[in-house]
Amino acid sequence: MKKVLGLIMAIVMIMGCVFALTACNDTAEPVVKVIDVDLSNEQYAFAVKKGNTELLNSVNAFFEAKKDEIAAIFDKYTAKDAALDTFGKDTIKTEPTGAANELVVATNLDFSPFEYLNGNKIAGIDMEIAELLATYLNKELVIVNMDFNAVVTSVETLDTYDIGIAGLTITDERKEQVDFSVPYFGATQAIVTKIDDTTFDGLDTAEKVEAKLKELTGDAAKCGGQSGTTSQYYIQGNADMELEGFENLTFSHYKSAALAIKDMLNGKIAFVVVDKTTAGALVNSFNK
């Protein structure tokens, strides 16, 4: 499905109700499902303030030097028996002091399993990689949570932030704002529906799913996802990402994909578009 430093991963995750913005399934019966079709091809990277060549070079050297450790972090979070509700640390600093030895990371902790809050603990693939990076740089890690749309802008415009780590897709538009590290993850979008929704049954290619999406009307054409992400651009279009979008679909904006799924279960939208790894994590959480 996706490649992480050359590793093809199967995403089957076990999550508890501790994750922010998700809910337990009182019925103990599955309520949502992922349509197992890859809809896009994108790459995640870290965003560094433009002109900070020293940090950018260090981050790229870090990815080369720590391949095995980074692969182990991905393995930890994507194992079949991964207890995602037990991961994380509550000792990570969240308030920058301006000290020279701090590595201040802008992120959005609503994107499990990449970055999320486990109670009062900061957890996720990206967050553990950030810890490893801080150690590599001999810096003290500081994680600042914010809206996803603010991550790149904060790194670009505010001296407080050294780097953005938030499942950021490399785009030409963002390249004008920040410098990107080497890619560390190959991502794709997927659709989440109610368990009994048959709209996309039997569709096994992106082309077939896109043809079906173009046919939808009325309530069936209402969808949603996290604002400012590829999920939004996949539906609404983005020339920079070579995404045509769908004029017949209505996209509702949410602070997280979990909130979108809640609205879907409440009948406000028909389906949710989200990063496929996150889709797998969320579906396991809602079906628990």
43-186 matches 2-41+188-286 in CATH topology: yes
Instruction: Indicate the average pLDDT of the chain.
Output: 90
Confidence band, pLDDT 50/70/90 cuts, at residue 22: very low
| Domain coordinates in residue numbering, the chain | 2-41+188-286, 43-186
Write down the pTM of the prediction. 0.83
Name the CATH topology of 43-186. D-Maltodextrin-Binding Protein; domain 2 (3.40.190)
* Nearest CA among 12, 11, 15 for reference residue 285: 15
pLDDT tens per residue, range 203-217: 999 999 999 999 999
Architecture of domain 2-41+188-286: 3-Layer(aba) Sandwich (3.40)
Q: Are 232 and 65 in contact (CB under 8 A)?
A: no
- Strand positions, DSSP E, the chain: 2-4, 7-9, 32-35, 42-44, 47-49, 102-107, 110-111, 115-118, 121-123, 140-145, 163-164, 178-180, 185-187, 189-194, 222-226, 250-254, 271-275
Nearest to 155 by CA among 43, 45, 240, 50: 50
Reported as a single tens digit per residue, the pLDDT across 1-15 is 333 443 333 333 333
